[in-house]
Structure 1
């Protein structure tokens, strides 16, 4: 067998030797002008592009077989803005045909090509005549001899300008391999390029390249992968009067906020918009895209439905989605009504720029919604953003153990937000509602709340300072924590000056609660506030400052009487901050109810002395000290009649 291989190797070596001798001889006697013309003709036949060589031409047969053209352009291209210019275009030749004095290109490599695409408002571009030529040359029956199927681009640049959309983009450092359809009808391109500071891996393939160039229907697959974003499309494409695409679209990004910035979009707000994934059936017509069978994930929220996006000079997004659990906390985490760690309203200015970039029309339903500390059950939401005005509507939401519905609107006027809110809370837990909405922790029970408010400001503090509107709360079977009205009233009924002890203990139960207030420039005025309990009643008047978050109220508490005789009544005062107000009886009322102290007060005629005496007497009632019950006789002015604390008054 070894001898057989040896005998076989001898003629092969002889053939290679003859080929080498022939190749060397060919390099001596080669007609370089004919070679150059043949190469130009084949490139023109395959690509449809008629090249103009403005620089030198290098021809090599051995050891490498190629023809290199320097400073190449397209014939018919504008001199000022050429559609294509190439520093060096190299055509590598097939070896065996070259030995027979036939010049066939194996592949073409373009070094540092500069491709310029200018799209006019009518949809035509500077490449339209060249594409028409390519289509004619590649149609079946055309007079051409296709010989090569690969074109490589190295270190290329593509400039794209769209006059109608005022768009200009550039792709740099392009390294692509184009599988030109010399045998089959398909076309494919794979490689990498730089766009906006990111390296992008890309691939695209068309099942019928001639149809795609002609605007007819063709299969299309496209993949783009970069650090900010991954995108894939698998379907069909056509471009007659406008671009039409239909197929499966997938998008994936670790940060939608970063991806939007990378693609030139302004992300809304300052929170959320992290991990994003979308898969849908896409139908693209011109600048509009309709998505069906949508499965979308954003910040861990998953929803299904349909979406439509259009960009006709202004971006518009429409969507109808259904979800299981939704968490809106990331999107409001940077919006704080109260200053961090303080009891004052936040004075940080609003950023309203996101209200003017996109139009939005969304319908959203969810089995459960989380907004910060608030948990909602089954919820139907609507959001509409148009012309810088945002309108949110709650068709119905299971909230605070009851039902909530209403609307919330924000309109932008320069840096000022004009806010309008109308809400109804039906049969809700009053403790949850008061704590989460108003920061008040002293109310419990169940009831209804109707709110209609308007405000205007550039910060949360500015909004509450201009607050106008009305609010009505009705409750039942609850309690007001911080004071036991029944116990206090009974003690003071027996001994008005016995001292208040700690008035801020216990709670006052109620059967019925009514609160009706009117807001004007941030001041809430009590129009109808009364509490009816099994043993005590209370009525309040006065105001509450929303900007200062303080009460300034006066009220009358009375024991419920079963007889015709009116029960004991006690005026009282509520003053101080919302979360920790001071509640104390009116000193003058207690003084007048004590015969001894009343005579003393009447005996003091001048105002200065009267105020001094009253200041001392207030200590008896706890107005100055929470738990003190001083001896009236020990503190009475000299010569004044003392009240006997050991005897009931």
Structure 2
């Protein structure tokens, strides 16, 4: 075998020797003008563009076989602006054809190319002739079929202009390798580029390049990876009358908020929109995409269903999704009705710009939903955002141990938000409902709540000032904590001037609770408030200021009479002060008049000044300095802060 190798080595060495001698001789005898013209003709045949050389031309045959053109422009016949300009374009030549005095390009390298893509209103671009020519020359059986095995781009720049859609983009520092071997129908491109301050690594492969260039269906695999976003597609593509793609798409982002900013889309609000992942079957036609078999994850929330997205001058998103557990807390955490650390309404102006960016139509169902401290069971709701008007609807939600239904709408008028809300809570736990919705912690029982409100304002405080509407509450089998009405009434019935004492303990049970309130310009007026218990009954009238969050109400408490009793004991009382810490105290005028010894004194005194002095002495005598309330011919009640020590506080 060794002898055979030796015998084989002689002709091989001889062959390479002859080839080397021929190559050296060719470099001496080469017609460089013919070589340059041949290279230009092949580039024109492949690209359909004329080669315009403004700089020097370098020709080398040995040791490297190439032609380098400096300051090169490629222009189409109908376009005055260059579609491509290159600092240095180098065409490497195939070795064997060169020995036979034929000039064939094996691959092309472009150093610092500037690529310009201009798209017109009809969807055509200045690169359409280039694409048509490649498709024509690469078809099997085409005359003078020419192909480059590879085109390398180094340190390139691409500018894209679409005046019809007002799109202008720029890619920089492009390093790509484009390959479509003449012996294969495939095409592949791999490399990197800079876009909007991020380095993007990408790859594209087309199974049938000729079909894809002709607009016919072809297999397509694409991948883009950057710090804000990763995207992959595996399917088919066609482009007869419009772009059509069908396949599996996957998207992954550590922060959807950052990815949206990077893509030039303003993210909604300031909370949430972190970790995001999507996998779906995609069907793209033109500027619309339909996603089926969707599996989407956002901020730990996972849902399945279908989605569609269209961009016809205005972005539109439609979705129908089902989920197990959903947590909406990140999206509402930055929306505060009350000022931080205060009992006043938040006066910060609304930012309503997000309402005008996208149209939304979403249907969502979940087994469990968390919104702040609220926990909901099985819930179905919808969201519709169109032309700046947002409408939220809750078909049915298991909430507070009962059922909740309702709708919430907000529309924009300049910087003012017009709000409309209608909610219905059926057979709910009143303690949980009143605590989370209104901050009232002293009410228990079960009942129904109906709310219908409208408001308009540029801030939560502005909304509070303009609230109009109604609210009704019916409860049963509960209690009002913080005071015992029966104990207080019995004590004052026996000794009216004994002082209120300490009755801020215990609770007042009720069998039936009725509350009917009407809102007008931020003031709630009690139309019917009744508490009916086994031992005591209470009725209330008056108003509550929504902007000030304060009560100004009067009521009557009475003991329930026995069946054979002649009359029942009734005591007027006053409720004043802030919602979260109101003062409740009995009417001292009524207590004085019920005292057998004190009432004749007041009746005997006809002069107003003398009567006020006597009443003052009696009040000091009772030990509490009971605060007057709605006394005829007397001054109005003093501010809540000056209430007597015996006044009760309750939520």
Provide the TM-score with structure 2 as the length reference: 0.92
Structure 1 residues 488 and 388: CA distance shift in structure 2, 3 A: same
Match of 1:548, SS state, is: coil
Q: Equivalents in 2 of 1:375, 1:618: separation in Å?
A: 50
More displaced 10-residue stretch of structure 1: 596-605 or 160-169: 596-605
Identify the residue that residue 107 of structure 1 maps to in structure 2: 107
Shift of 1:16: 4.5
Residues 218/564 of structure 1: CA separation in 2 closer, same or farther (3 Å cut): same
Aligned to 1:630: none
Match of 1:572 in 2: 573
CA gap 1:275/1:615 in 2 versus in 1, 3 angstroms: farther
Shift of 1:409: 0.5
Q: What is the deviation of 1:30?
A: 1.4
Distance 2:623 2:117 in 1: 86
Distance 1:267 1:478 in 2: 46
CA contact (8 A) 1:104 1:147 kept: no
Pick closer, same or farther for the CA change 1:619–1:528 going to 2, 3 Å.
Answer: farther
- Give the corresponding residue for 1:641: none
Q: CA 1:612–1:327 in structure 2 vs 1: closer, same or farther (change >3 Å)?
A: farther
The alpha-carbon distance between structure 1 residues 87 and 493, as it changes in their structure 2 partners (threshold 3 A), is: same
- 1:500, 1:622 within 8 Å by CA — same for their partners in 2? no
Task: Describe the superposition over 1:126-166 as per-residue Cα deviations: whole angstroms up to 9, x where unpaired.
Answer: 22223222222111211124364111011111111112211
How far has the Cα of 1:302 moved from its partner?
Answer: 0.5
Secondary structure, aligned partner of 2:603? helix
Q: Aligned Cα RMSD in Å?
A: 2.0
Q: Name the CA distance, whole Å, in 2 between partners of 1:445 and 1:377.
A: 20
Partner Cα distance (1:124, 1:306) in 2: 32
8 Å CA contact 2:464–2:547 kept in 1: the answer is: yes
Show the 5 A alignment for 1:267-416. Answer: 267-416=267-416
SS at match of 2:598: helix
**Shift of the alpha carbon at 1:104?**
2.8
**Inter-partner Cα distance in structure 1 for 2:529 and 2:130:** 82
- Structure 1 CA distance for aligned equivalents of residues 474 and 92 of structure 2: 89
1:434 aligns with 2:434: yes
Structure 1 CA distance for aligned equivalents of residues 75 and 83 of structure 2 = 10
Report the counterpart of residue 602 of structure 1 in structure 2.
603
CA distance in 2, matches of 1:554, 1:583: 9
In the TM superposition, residue 62 of structure 1 has moved relative to its aligned partner by 2.2
Measured in 2, the distance between the counterparts of 1:12 and 1:127 equals: 47
- Paired with 2:621 and 2:59, the residues of 1 have a C-alpha distance of 115
Farther off after superposition, 142-151 or 161-170: 142-151
Counterparts in 2 of 1:432-581, with a 5 A limit? 432-562=432-562, 563-581=564-582
Per-residue Cα deviation, 1:33-92 (whole angstroms, up to 9, x for no partner): 222222223333444444233332110122222100122223435665211222211011
| C-alpha distance 117-623 of structure 1, shift in aligned 2 (>3 A) | farther
> In the alignment, is residue 179 of structure 1 matched against residue 179 of structure 2?
yes
- Distance, in Å, in 1 between the alignment partners of 2:147 and 2:446 is 85
1:51 and 1:180 map into 2 onto residues whose CA distance is: 21
**Which moves more between the two structures, 15-24 or 230-239?**
15-24
Cα distance in 2, alignment partners of residues 472 and 410 from structure 1: 23
SS of the residue 1:39 aligns to: helix
Q: Does 1:224 align with 2:243?
A: no
Which secondary structure state, in structure 2, belongs to the residue aligned with residue 501 of structure 1? coil
1:230, CA displacement in angstroms? 0.8
8 Å CA contact 1:498–1:620 kept in 2: the answer is no
Displacement of 1:110: 0.9
Q: Distance in 2 between matches of 1:418 and 1:481?
A: 37
Deviations 1:572-626 (A, max 9, x none): 1111111111111100000000122223333444434443443454456675589
Kept in 1: contact 2:138–2:147 (CA 8 A): no
Cα separation, 1, equivalents of 2:126 and 2:469: 61
Write the distance in 1 (CA, Å) between the matches of 2:331 and 2:162.
Answer: 35
Which deviates more, 105-114 or 284-293?
105-114
Q: Is the 8 A contact 1:319 1:362 kept in 2?
A: yes
Is 1:66 the counterpart of 2:66? The answer is yes
How far does residue 102 in structure 1 lie from its aligned partner after superposition?
3.2
Change (3 A) 1:460 1:617: farther
* Distance in 1, Cα, partners of 2:495 & 2:225: 84
How far, CA to CA, are the matches of 1:619 and 1:4 in structure 2?
A: 133
Aligned to 1:638: none
Distance in 2 of aligned mates of 1:63 and 1:621: 119
Task: Please report how far the alpha carbon of residue 21 of structure 1 lies from its aligned counterpart in structure 2 after TM superposition.
Answer: 3.8
Mark the CA change 1:499 to 1:147 in structure 2 (over 3 Å): closer, same or farther. closer
- Describe the superposition over 1:209-262 as per-residue Cα deviations: whole angstroms up to 9, x where unpaired: 122111111111111111111111111111122111111111111111111111
Distance 1:581 1:11, change over 3 A: same
Match of 1:25 in 2: 25
Partner SS, residue 141 of structure 2: coil
Count of matched residue pairs: 626
Unaligned runs of 5+ in 1: 627-649
* The 10-residue stretch of structure 1 (124-133 or 522-531) with the greater mean CA deviation from structure 2: 124-133
Pairwise CA distance, 1:8: 6.4
* Structure 1 residue 347, shift from structure 2 partner: 1.2
Deviation digits for residues 296-348 of structure 1 (CA, Å, limit 9, x no counterpart): 11111010111111111101111111000000000000001111111111111
SS at match of 1:37: helix
C-alpha distance in structure 2 between counterparts of 1:449 and 1:364, whole Å: 24
Secondary structure at 2:23 match in 1:
helix
**8 Å contact kept, 1:517–1:527:** yes
Q: Could you tell me which residue of structure 2 aligns to residue 83 of structure 1?
A: 83
**SS of 1:380 mapped into structure 2:** strand
Give the corresponding residue for 2:254. Answer: 254
* Aligned-partner SS, 1:339: coil
Aligned to 2:340, the other structure's residue is in SS state: coil
| 3-state SS in 2 of match to 1:596 | coil
Partner of 2:647: none
Corresponding residue number in structure 1 for 2:646: none
Q: Deviations over 1:520-566 (max 9, x none)?
A: 11111110001000000001111111111111111110000122522
State which drifts further: 396-405 or 209-218. Answer: 209-218
Cα distance, 1:5 vs structure 2: 6.8
For structure 1, which segment, 143-152 or 497-506, has the greater mean C-alpha deviation from structure 2 after superposition?
143-152
| Contact 1:502 1:622 (8 Å CA) reproduced | no
Q: Give yes or no for contact 1:244–1:284 (8 Å, CA) kept in 2.
A: yes
